[in-house]
Amino acid sequence: MDWIFYPPWAFFLASAGQPSELPLALLLVFGAAKLFAEIFERLRQPAIVGEITAGILLGPSVLGWVKPSDTMSALAELGVMFLLFRVGLEVKPSEILEVGRSALLVAVIGVMTPFFVGWLAAHALGYQWIEALFVGAAMVATSVGITAQVLASKGYLHHPASRTVLAAAVIDDVLGLIVLAIVSSLAQGGVNLLDLGLTALLAIGFTTIVAIWGNRLIVRLLPAIETNLSAMEARFNFSLVLLFALALLATYAGVAAIIGAFLAGMALAESVGHREHDLVHGVTETLVPFFLVGIGLYFDLSLLKNTTLLGVASLITILAVATKLASGLGVWNRGRADVFRVGIGMMPRGEVGMVVAQLGLVLGVISSQTYSVVIFMAIVTTMIAPPLLRLAYRGQECRPSERLQIV
């Protein structure tokens, strides 16, 4: 069974002969996420932090009722894919291309600065050079799903700083892929420049082609497809096919599936109507809690008992925050407010940082303690970003039609 959980009353249900494990786990995760989202909203804190907190409480470190599993990972991946797809539906390609130059500068600063600072800091702390490289690579990551969730729920997707963050996060994923490919190759004994070049070219080519020409193709193609399809919700069905197709192609191109999902949403932004938006919203509302709770499940509170390790983790986290704040300098010409908004938007590492840590552990180049440090950094940067984003955007006007209730 993929889901592993141990609430005391689960055994009573099982002994009563009820096939309760999967439904009970779904109830625990979704119910706890929404309960804590409501509590945190009433406390004037971002609901997203409440949902991650629910994962910490349900996870192995506290109650131990739900543990990370393949099923949880699958639901979480679907959740963040639909979230980015939903965000993409609200963003026109022209809006992203308008901020392309500044987004590129933000992404370059947001990749190079964390990588080198993380590498040098870890090496100064006594880590072996390859282990230090993996710490730096984990600090490069940006979990755009977390930022997108906050921006969408508050109606700030059309703010110039928000568009810059979304575009920079896409570029960041491509650049981060290249950094991770280099570090992984070094861990395995060498770098194949030809393979690395082909991977980079494929990732950049896929992203550029879909971002620039995807919308134009769909605008022409969708009416003809809809005319020839008689099934109910044909436009929505086509949208999902495109979502999954581009997510799959993105993985083949070497970038994250969520980038393909975001690009699919942008390609459909000018073609789908309110009905499709509502249907996607319903699926997103159902699945996103599994993504957020899943992040909290990985938090290891035992780290807090080791003062030395906690000190290292805290230092790495502070550097992770500072180096992503520095990426906001890419929009310095827009003023300090936008510098802060963009820097905070690029801050959360989330599931992307955890994937890098997991890869290092699998390759045998980082220790379990280093793994715990990186996981701590990834989750803390993820949890502090939403309240800081709320602070950064405070006082900004948003149109009611732009506000997406997906928290």
The pLDDT value given to residue 248: 92
72 token code pair: 């949880």
Sign of torsion over alpha carbons 68, 69, 70, 71:
negative
The pLDDT value given to residue 113: 94
Answer yes or no: are the C-beta atoms of 406 and 152 closer than 8 Å.
yes
Answer yes or no: are the C-beta atoms of 164 and 102 closer than 8 Å.
yes
Task: Please list the helix, strand and coil fractions of the chain in percent, rounded to the nearest 5, in that order.
Answer: 80, 0, 20
Residues of the chain with pLDDT under 50: 1-6, 8-18, 400-407
Report the CATH architecture of 31-396: Up-down Bundle (1.20)
Domain ranges of the chain: 31-396
pTM over 0.85: no
Rounded to whole angstroms, the Cα distance separating 150 from 145 reads 9
Sign of torsion over alpha carbons 283, 392, 357, 374:
negative
73 token code pair: 């990972």
Answer yes or no: are the C-beta atoms of 289 and 83 closer than 8 Å.
no
Read off the pLDDT of residues 150-164 as tens digits, 9 standing for 90 and up: 787 777 777 888 888
Read off the pLDDT of residues 174-214 as tens digits, 9 standing for 90 and up: 888 788 778 877 777 666 667 767 777 888 888 888 877 88
Closest among 286, 278, 289, 345 to 89, alpha carbons compared: 278
**For the packed helices 274-297 and 144-154, what is the interaxial angle rounded to 10 degrees?**
130
Read off the pLDDT of residues 106-127 as tens digits, 9 standing for 90 and up: 999 999 999 999 999 998 988 8
DSSP state of 232: T
Rounded to whole angstroms, the Cα distance separating 259 from 263 reads 6
Closest among 87, 92, 251, 67 to 156, alpha carbons compared: 87
Answer yes or no: are the C-beta atoms of 187 and 130 closer than 8 Å.
yes
The pLDDT value given to residue 198: 79
Rounded to whole angstroms, the Cα distance separating 326 from 314 reads 18
Rounded to whole angstroms, the Cα distance separating 280 from 177 reads 29
250 token code pair: 């993105």
